[in-house]
Amino acid sequence: MKTLVEFINDKQVEYPGATGEFTRLLNDITIAAKIVNREIRIAGLADINGLHGTTNIQGEEQKKLDVFANTHFIEALKHGGQCAAIASEENEDLIIFGNPYSQKGKYVVAMDPVDGSSNIEVNIPIGTIFSVFKRITKEGRPATVDDLLQPGREMVAAGYVLYGSSTTMVYTTGNGVNGFTYDPSVGLFFLSHPDMKLPDEGNTYSINEANYNYFPEGVKRFLNYCQEDDKPTHRPYSTRYVGSLVADVHRNMMRGGIFIYPGNQKNPMGKLRLLYECAPMAFIIEQAGGKASDGFKPILDIEPYDIHQRTPLFIGSRHMVEKAEEFMKEYSRELADFR
């Protein structure tokens, strides 16, 4: 049984000249994930449920667990010293570490410490999402927002932690995807899902259908397609919607399927954030053989202009995402230029 730490260390050996900094960074993320996991597992007993009494940059009320997880991930990365700055869903501004003129960290991180916050109190799976970039500004100088505003294709690593019936960490460094399950009795993640691959087809679609009336025509047509009777293609498909992106994407990762959070008339760019929700999930899914798009082009090709910007998301099994894109291109073409 290989542990996550052994796995990360073994990978480092494959890169001659590797300094171990990236390895340390990933290990720090793992440590924070374990601390957050411990807290989640006692939610309901400890006083960790409920509101923190503050709102984040998106005007959403922060839960106690949002704030707890955010603090622990920030602390872990700060003490490690490899990370020069963090963009977090919970902080309006970039968090820049240390004396700005003695920045040593080579990397910057974007993260959603607790994704699916609305599910915390009702004991439904939630997650953590992160992406890692190499900074483009010079080491030794303060990191800037430009270090984070890189297209997803430049990412050096991305991962998610799913706090579900078990706790699983899935990550990629651009060379396949591997999943690790946490064994609480020994406090270690073990490799449980080596070289994860997403089926090209699936028969599940996940979308918040309550917004149907506001969806673009292309999405409505795709949903009609999913609901049609057609034995050879196993339609009608099934709907599954947890309301935690990590859980919905992880299910599709294991079984195939598509997750959609489209733009709608009220929010043309949808709800989900590019840097710390959509792009890392897109990197993982592409590495596992799937596809992620904004309906017209790959999520990983989007040039970010704001650390908190949003994007529509179509993600999952390759053929299903391509089908959804066909409908978008045929019936909602006018939105393509809007993005």
- Whether residue 236 is preceded by a cis peptide bond, meaning omega within 30 degrees of 0, is yes
Q: What's the closest the beta carbon of residue 74 comes to ligand AHM, in angstroms?
A: 17
When asked if residue 112 is in the footprint of Mg ion (CB under 5 A), the reply is yes
When asked if residue 245 is in the footprint of ligand AHM (CB under 6 A), the reply is yes
Give the residue, chosen from 115, 147, 248, 294, that forms a contact with Mg ion under the rule CB under 5 A: 115
Binding range to ligand AHM, per CB under 6 A, among 109-117, 130-138, 164-172, 327-335:
109-117
Q: Which residues contact 196 (CB under 8 A, 6 or more apart)?
A: 170, 176, 177, 178, 179, 253, 288
Distance, in Å, from the CA atom of 140 to the CA atom of 221, rounded to the nearest integer, reads: 52
Q: What's the closest the beta carbon of residue 154 comes to ligand AHM, in angstroms?
A: 23
Buried b or exposed e, range 71-108, using 16+ CB within 10 angstroms: ebbbebbeebbbbbbbbbbbbeebbbbeeeeebebbbb
Q: What does the per-residue mask of binding to Mg ion show for 75-94, with x meaning CB under 5 A?
A: --------------x-----
Give the residue, chosen from 37, 62, 70, 117, that forms a contact with ligand AHM under the rule CB under 6 A: 117
Radius of gyration, alpha carbons of the chain: 19
Nearest Cα to 137, choosing from 107, 92, 93?
107
Q: What's the closest the beta carbon of residue 52 comes to Mg ion, in angstroms?
A: 13
When asked if residue 244 is in the footprint of ligand AHM (CB under 6 A), the reply is yes
Q: How many residues bind ligand AHM (CB under 6 A)?
A: 12
When asked if residue 90 is in the footprint of ligand AHM (CB under 6 A), the reply is no
Q: What does the per-residue mask of binding to ligand AHM show for 150-189, with x meaning CB under 6 A?
A: ----------------------------------------
